[in-house]
Structure 1
Amino acid sequence: MRKWLLLLATLLLIGVFYNRFTAAVDMKGSIQPENRYPTETPTPENDPPENELTIEVEADQVNKGNLLLVNEILAVPPNDAEAEAVNLYKHKELRNGFGLLDNKVRLSPDMTKKFSSMIKDAAEVGIDHFLISSGYRNDEEQKALYDQLGSDVAAFPGHSEHSLGLALDIGSTIAQMKDAPEGKWLKENSWKYGFIVRYPEDKTEVTDVMNEPWHFRYVGLPHSAVMQENHLAFEEYLEYLKERKSITAIVGKSTYVVYYFPVSSNTTLHVPTIGSYEVSGNNTDGVIVTVLKS
């Protein structure tokens, strides 16, 4: 009798351990992959790790920054570009190494300095016949150009990158840009300074804009470098970021990590990289955080 009782107790214990083991396996199998970029604000009991950036982002950040996509569908969002733009003809101190097509060209001092720094290096190799034919344009100026040139050449008012204050048309005093040494040098080197040829000849089906070898857009590093390396138009690059979620780019001695986050309301972003950073919207559905690693 005792043997039967002992056997029964043993079987019961085996059953208990089996159920516990099975439950543990089932629970383990149901665990979801960890969300690397949670958007919830951490509780005091669960502070963010020391190797993580916490960034408060408002919903309208989607429409601010250097990486805004503007085209015939996406309009230029409200911005301060006109307030920041100055008449370069009246500011001789800003005109370093380039001429102006006329006395109405406007551009922000910051963008002018970025351009001047770039062409200074070109001058060191004997390429120094640059001019700016157009910088910032407001809707009224864009409408006048649109009415004069038509939709095949000019963007509809409210849909021109020039109204962002991040684009400029660059010319040469000795030849058309497609043939000029200035155009060829910029095509090969502008990415090193954060600029891109916005409408390349072989990307017209992507941009839906004819080739404009004179139109340059500032996006900043490392974005211009990644586009150059992977032969991407701006539209393709933004989609690339959305698909990849994060990329690492090494430019010279600097290492950048770039993250895409969808944003539809005020939120807190937790970025798993430490360093100085910039946040830009894409003008559609999210923001791009660019971290220069410490």
Structure 2
Amino acid sequence: MKKIITIVAICIIGGWFIIDNPFKHNQTNNHIAATSYNEQVYQGDLLLVNHDFPVKKDYIPTDIVNALETNTNNYYMVLYNDILISEYIKAPFEALMEQAYRDGISTFLVSSGFRSFAEQQKLYDEYGSKSALPAGYSEHNLGLSLDIGSTQGRMEDTAEGQWLADNVWQYGFIMRYPKNKTRITNIKYEPWHIRYVGLPHSLLMRKKNLALEEYLAFLKTEQTVYASVNGQDYTIKYYEGNQFSEDLLPENQAYTISGDNQNGVIVTIET
């Protein structure tokens, strides 16, 4: 099979991040609608979930489907017949796996997706704090993360692991727990754990070598960031939650909204 080589070029010019990316995902707003804009702080693609900031039960996703049902093209394998995935991330994940297939890799194995609070607590009770997080504190409770292994061996030792680390960024995903960020994330190196944050955020994080914790701090400091992805310009604005209102949203431009699970709301506008 002919190998397709994707080149992502990023440069910074006068505050603009110009990113050439072959895939543009048409993002919708959120897979759970906020009933008030204050609630927006606690949901969205950029939500921070870690030891300090748990998912709130009211914002657990409801669009959960069986991963076997979403894998219609057999670009990857599913380890168990009860693995769940948020339908919201189906399109970008399928595109990621299709690219891997076209690049000659068809041995990815999805081993975990969405977990309920009850399932997460069961894992924590069984394996303890060294191997699991309590209910609400795991990204798997958020519905935007997947664990992906390889049938060929440990991810850190395989071509699959290297391919994933090199390519997830182009499709709106990040490697959430890289080896050089354990001090920031407080989670051991996990070369199998990917998390959806959407474009252009994934590529900006890749360019600046930032973990999600660092990226959110960057947005809070900068307040406004400009980016261009494959010819599409974006303006990213950060607001303190108590300063955010519907009046700040554009009337005639596409946008997405995400809270940070702390005290901020990020609006990403297609300009």
1:78 to 57, 65, 87: 57
1:246: which partner in 2? 224
Q: Are residues 1:59 and 2:38 paired?
A: yes
**Structure 2 residue aligned with 1:267:** 245
Q: Provide the C-alpha distance between the structure 1 equivalents of 2:244 and 2:198, rounded to a whole number of angstroms.
A: 25
CA distance in structure 2 between the aligned counterparts of 1:271 and 1:160, rounded to whole angstroms: 31
The one of 103, 108, 113 equivalent to 2:81 is 103
CA contact (8 A) 2:55 2:136 kept: yes
- List runs of 5+ in structure 1 lacking aligned partners: 1-55
Cα drift, residue 216 of structure 1:
0.5
Deviation, 1:116, is 1.4
**Larger helix fraction of residues:** 1
1:16 matched residue in structure 2: none
Deviation at 1:95, TM superposition (A): 5.8
Deviation at 1:109, TM superposition (A): 2.6
Provide the TM-score with structure 2 as the length reference: 0.82
Distance 1:256 1:266 in 2: 19
Q: Relative to structure 2, which stretch is displaced further, 171-180 or 108-117? A: 108-117
Hey, what does 2:112 align to over in structure 1?
A: 134
Q: CA deviation at 1:177?
A: 1.0
Range with bigger deviation, 147-156 or 169-178: 147-156
Kindly tell me the number of residue pairs found equivalent between the two proteins: 237
- Which residues in structure 2 correspond to 1:143-182 (within 5 Å)? 143-182=121-160
SS in 1 for 2:130: coil
Alignment match of 1:207 (pick from 153, 164, 185): 185
Shift of 1:272: 7.7
Percent sequence identity over aligned pairs: 42
User: Could you tell me the TM-score, scaled by structure 1's length?
Assistant: 0.76
User: In the alignment, which residue of structure 2 is the partner of 1:192?
Assistant: 170
Structure 1: which amino acid aligns with 2:63?
A: E
Q: Which residue in the other structure is 1:183 paired with? A: 161
Letter in 1 for 2:57: P
Relative to structure 1, the CA distance from residue 116 to residue 142 in structure 2 (aligned partners, 3 Å threshold; closer, same or farther) is same
Equivalent residue, structure 1, for 2:195: 217
- Once the two structures are TM-superposed, the CA of residue 266 in structure 1 deviates from its matched residue by 6.8
Question: How far apart, in 2, do the equivalents of 1:263 and 1:201 lie?
Answer: 32
Query: Does residue 256 of the first structure (1) align with residue 234 of the second (2)?
Result: yes
Q: Which amino acid aligns with 2:38?
A: A
What is the identity, as a one-letter code, of the residue corresponding to 1:85?
I
What CA distance in whole angstroms lies between the structure 2 residues aligned with 1:79 and 1:65? 13
Counterpart-to-counterpart distance in 2, 1:181 and 1:283: 35
Indicate whether 1:117 and 2:95 are aligned.
Answer: yes
SS at match of 1:83: coil
Structure number with greater Rg is 1
Superposition CA RMSD, Å: 2.1
**CA drift at 1:148:** 2.3
| CA-to-aligned-CA distance 1:179-232 (integer Å, 9 cap, x gap) | 121111110110000000001100001111111111110000000010000000
The code of the aligned residue for 1:76 comes to V
Q: Would you identify which runs of 4 or more consecutive aligned residues in structure 1 move more than 6 Å?
A: none
